A and B are shown apart, each in its own frame.
Chain A
Amino acid sequence: MKKQLIKNIAILFFVGLLILYAGLYRIFFKEVDMIKTPAEIRISSEHLVASFLANEPLANNRYVEKVIEVQGIIDEITYLNDRYTVFLQGGDKWSCLMCDMQPDQIEKVKKLKPGQKVLLKGICKGFLKDAILLNCVLLNQKINE
């Protein structure tokens, strides 16, 4: 009886440790699972870029660090520093939406072409010459070809 109790306590302790480790790992190390994270804002790439061009401080307050779902037309795709970046048209000759793709998106990104309409999701970081979205994932590879 006593042995069984000790065994149960040991199992509970071990399970508790596992839960604690998983929790700490999630907090300290694991990246955000962008596919599962719901978007807080849905917007077109043109509208997002226009918001930053019109009033950057206001757009910073509204969009920075938010998970944003964006629809737009691909202007360019680049591969630099081991990273794929999809540029969506910004409705302005000089500014685009720069989407830094997550490494697990590589195979999907390789199939994309300029001019294609796509839907993707990422975390908005702000605006330089272009609006910047990190941790991007494709939601629908081909909306309209």
Chain B
Amino acid sequence: MNKTITLILILIVRIGCAQEPDQYITRQGQASFFSYTSVENIQATNNQVLSIIDLSKKEIAVSMLMRAFVFEKSLMEEHFNESYIESDIYPKATFQGQIQDFDPSINGEQTRIVKGQLTIHGVTRETEIKTKIEKTGRTYVLSGDFELRIKDYEIKVPPILARNIAKTISVTFSFKYIPYEK
């Protein structure tokens, strides 16, 4: 009798574990960038970032529409899409990477390095991003910040505006993932 109960309990636990999906998704991740210069500060935010993490493979994929960045000034948005990023030709920025030493079972907070390829403006570069991972119940929140040089992504700024745009841009992100039920 005791053996039967034990077996049932094991099965329940296994079924429970099997129901936990491997993939988690956010369709409303937030990414912002900041350009600080003595002439002006520019900030833009995208609230529709798509990202999926695969817990078993410890992989992450991120995709965002460049046109979904919202600026304080409409003229900045126009310059960003038409002159710098060329959103008609390169409509998306993407990131594909691996979360190093990630243990999805840890409840609470862990800080890990995410290594992968970041593609902006059609240019792909190897990137390492220090990321805070918080697990609460069935949700994961990945957040962090990093810097990128606009020169690395072949983003050209006209000389007349060179003083207005920082050579290094600060990027922050916060993605809240929920189970991806297929």
With A81-B28, A128-B50 as contacts: A27 and B176 at CB distance below 8 Å: no
Interface residues of A in 57-94 (CB under 8 A from B): 60, 64-65, 78, 80-81, 83, 85
Instruction: Choose, from A14-22, A104-112, A129-137, the stretch at the interface.
Output: A129-137
Given the interface contacts A27-B74, A65-B67, A132-B68, does A81 sit within 8 Å of B48 by beta carbon? no
Report yes or no: A134 in contact with B27, Cβ–Cβ below 8 A.
Answer: no
Which chain A residues (19-55) contact chain B, with CB distance < 8 Å? 27-32
A98 at the interface (CB under 8 A from B): yes
Interface of B is mostly: strand
Whether the Cβ atoms of A80 and B68 lie closer than 8 Å is: no
Check A126–B91 contact: CB distance below 8 A: yes
Instruction: Give A residues with C-beta under 8 Å from B.
Output: 27-32, 60, 64-65, 78, 80-81, 83, 85, 98, 100, 125-130, 132, 134
21 contacts across the A-B interface (CB closer than 8 A):
A27-B75, A28-B73, A28-B74, A29-B73, A30-B74, A60-B91, A78-B28, A80-B47, A81-B47, A98-B28, A125-B67, A126-B65, A126-B68, A126-B91, A128-B27, A128-B65, A128-B92, A129-B27, A129-B50, A130-B27, A134-B68
B residues neighboring A (CB under 8 Å):
27-28, 30, 47-48, 50, 63-65, 67-68, 70, 72-75, 91-92, 174, 176
